[in-house]
């Protein structure tokens, strides 16, 4: 499914236990890989939040097809605690196919920050789930004219530059946050993600009868998210990873039911 979220065009699918991936076209990256539809083979950078099968099963397929197509090895960012098992899995698949596979796993941990394209870094944050997991936040650095130089003409700016005066200062803008699977704790631990231009968060459970399951399975219930909406400044909030127990119509119904009307226009659904 394709979805416009502010300045970003997203391609993705997300249902709990079935498959989750979210491709950000403008950044040419994908969060999680699901079962790896063919459209993801050409994405050079993949960010895996955790290794539950619905988020990661397509990894060996991605690697095999990039090898077949003679593309450079994709850069696959994975939670450091899962790195060894991920290598073992990839090698086992290669052994079964009697093939040699080129690939690059990059272990990441909460608190790390890695540049991944010009002016963009990915910051990893801790999430609260049943297996090792991380969330990802895209930060963009823009260089802005310092206030004291605003209003100067082009010629004066050029002269200052030639004199070696530092006329710009860097600004770090939170563009996109991807939570992956987590309990609601992630917003207490990392309030900074609530300022991202786009905030993509799981919202697995929707009905009262499933409220306890959210905590038990380390997921979110929409009732947990509602009180945070007043603190989330993101103009675009993408809810995803709904349980298969709900039809598309039911998801729309419960979202309308729980989310206060004043927040509804910021809400996007990946269903």
The residues that touch Zn ion, with contacts defined as CB under 5 A, are 52, 181
> Toward Zn ion, which CB reaches closer, 21 or 187?
21
Residues of 75-108 as b/e, b for ≥16 C-beta within 10 angstroms?
A: bbbbbbebeeebeebbeebbeeeeeebebebbeb
> Toward Zn ion, which CB reaches closer, 13 or 116?
13
Instruction: List all residues 6 or more positions away from 74 whose beta carbon is below 8 Å from its beta carbon.
Output: 43, 44, 45, 46, 62, 63, 66, 103, 104
Q: How far is the CB of 96 from Zn ion (least distance, A)?
A: 25
Measured distance CA(178)–CA(201) in Å, rounded? 6
Q: How far is the CB of 64 from Zn ion (least distance, A)?
A: 23
> Toward Zn ion, which CB reaches closer, 218 or 266?
218
- Complete DSSP assignment for 72-138: PPPEEEEEGGGHHHHHHHHHHHHHHTT-----EEEEE-TT-EEEEETTEEEEEEE---SSS-EEEEE
Q: How far is the CB of 240 from Zn ion (least distance, A)?
A: 10
Handedness of CA 70, 22, 120, 28 (dihedral sign): positive
> Toward Zn ion, which CB reaches closer, 133 or 196?
133
Instruction: List all residues 6 or more positions away from 258 whose beta carbon is below 8 Å from its beta carbon.
Output: 206, 222, 223, 226
Q: How far is the CB of 181 from Zn ion (least distance, A)?
A: 4
Cβ contact 251:242 at 8 Å: yes
Q: How far is the CB of 104 from Zn ion (least distance, A)?
A: 24
> Toward Zn ion, which CB reaches closer, 183 or 234?
183
Q: How far is the CB of 108 from Zn ion (least distance, A)?
A: 17
> Toward Zn ion, which CB reaches closer, 74 or 180?
180
């Amino acid at each position: 499914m394709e979805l416009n979220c502010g300045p970003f065009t997203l391609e993705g699918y997300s249902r709990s236990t079935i498959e989750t991936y979210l491709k950000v076209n403008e950044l040419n990256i994908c969060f999680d890989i699901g079962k790896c539809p063919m459209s993801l083979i050409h994405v050079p950078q993949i960010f895996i939040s955790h290794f539950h099968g619905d988020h990661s099963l397509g990894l060996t397929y991605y690697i095999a097809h990039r090898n077949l197509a003679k593309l450079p090895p994709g850069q696959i960012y994975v939670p450091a605690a899962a790195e060894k098992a991920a290598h073992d899995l990839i090698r086992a698949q290669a052994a079964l196919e009697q093939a040699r596979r080129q690939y690059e796993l990059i272990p990441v941990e909460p608190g790390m920050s890695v540049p991944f394209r010009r002016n963009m870094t990915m910051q990893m944050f801790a999430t609260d789930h049943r297996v090792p997991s991380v969330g990802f936040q895209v930060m963009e650095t823009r260089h802005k004219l310092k206030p004291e130089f605003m209003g100067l003409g082009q010629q004066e700016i050029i002269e200052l530059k030639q004199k070696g005066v530092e006329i710009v200062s860097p600004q770090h803008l939170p563009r996109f946050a991807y939570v992956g699977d987590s309990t609601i704790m992630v917003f207490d631990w990392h309030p900074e993600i609530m300022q991202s231009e786009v905030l993509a968060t799981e919202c697995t459970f929707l009905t009262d009868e499933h409220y306890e399951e959210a905590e038990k399975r380390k997921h979110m219930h929409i009732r947990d998210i509602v009180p945070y909406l007043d603190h989330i400044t993101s103009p675009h909030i993408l809810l995803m990873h709904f349980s298969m127990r709900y039809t598309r119509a039911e998801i729309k119904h419960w979202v309308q039911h729980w989310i206060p009307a004043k927040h509804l226009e910021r809400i996007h659904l990946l269903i």
